Amino acid sequence: MSPFTVAIDGPAAAGKGTISKAVAAHFDLAHLDTGLLYRAVGARMLQGQDPISAAHTLVAGDLENPDLRTADVAQAASKVAVIPEVRAALLDFQRAFARRSGGAVMDGRDIGTVICPRAEVKLFVTASAEVRAQRRLTELAERGFDTDFDTVLADVQARDDRDMNRADAPLRPADDAVMIDTSKLDVDAAIAAAIAAVEARRTG
């Protein structure tokens, strides 16, 4: 089967991870949350390792670390993602995964613009900062973290600023990406919109 790549980009807590997993399951495609690569590098940095060295020595097992979803690691991931040498070290891994036989769904922040600019389908999933902060607050509360809305909102906005204004591969929609704003969509509606966009390209 020829490769078929679905590139899904967007800011933190917009819903792209949930959508990506659902799209991958629906079309029986492999899935990679590329943010986990940067979180794994960030986690190693928090343990004292040089982030460039961490990126070059990353192994699949690092992606299984249960601490990768913590707020501290998320902030560290955003910081290491602005380092060009880190991005370069992870580039080949991501591109090889994207073009694997049978196809793949990739979600991140520069999949459609840098990693896979020729992806068959590109989606950009977004939502307002306030909606995303509330989602993240709920997620953190469910995991037992004690914080408040204003703190989480400030973290979301700071991360957006870093991601959108970094010199190397800033977060932005690809020119040919289908935009999906999940601010007022429930999970099922957001997934349905994404599946419809992919289906249109597969059968078009």
Question: Which tokens hold the place of 55?
Answer: 């990126």
Is 42 annotated as a binding-site member? no
Tokens of 183: 């601010």
The answer to whether 108 is annotated as binding is no
Instruction: Please tell me whether 13 is known to bind a ligand.
Output: yes
Q: Are 115 and 108 in contact (CB under 8 A)?
A: yes
7, 44, 87 from 176: Cα distances, Å: 11, 35, 23
61 is in an annotated binding site: no
Residue 144, annotated ligand binder? no
Residue 17 annotated in ligand binding: yes
Does 16 count as an annotated binding residue? yes
User: CA-to-CA distance for 15 and 127, rounded, in angstroms?
Assistant: 8
Q: How far apart are CA 129 and CA 23, in angstroms?
A: 24
Distance of CA 94 to the CA centre of its chain: 12
The verdict on whether residue 15 carries a ligand-binding annotation is yes
- Ligand-binding annotation for 103, yes or no, is no
Closest residue by Cα to residue 196 from 175, 185, 172, 180: 180
Which residues sit in the known binding site for ATP? 10-18
Residues in binding site: 10-18
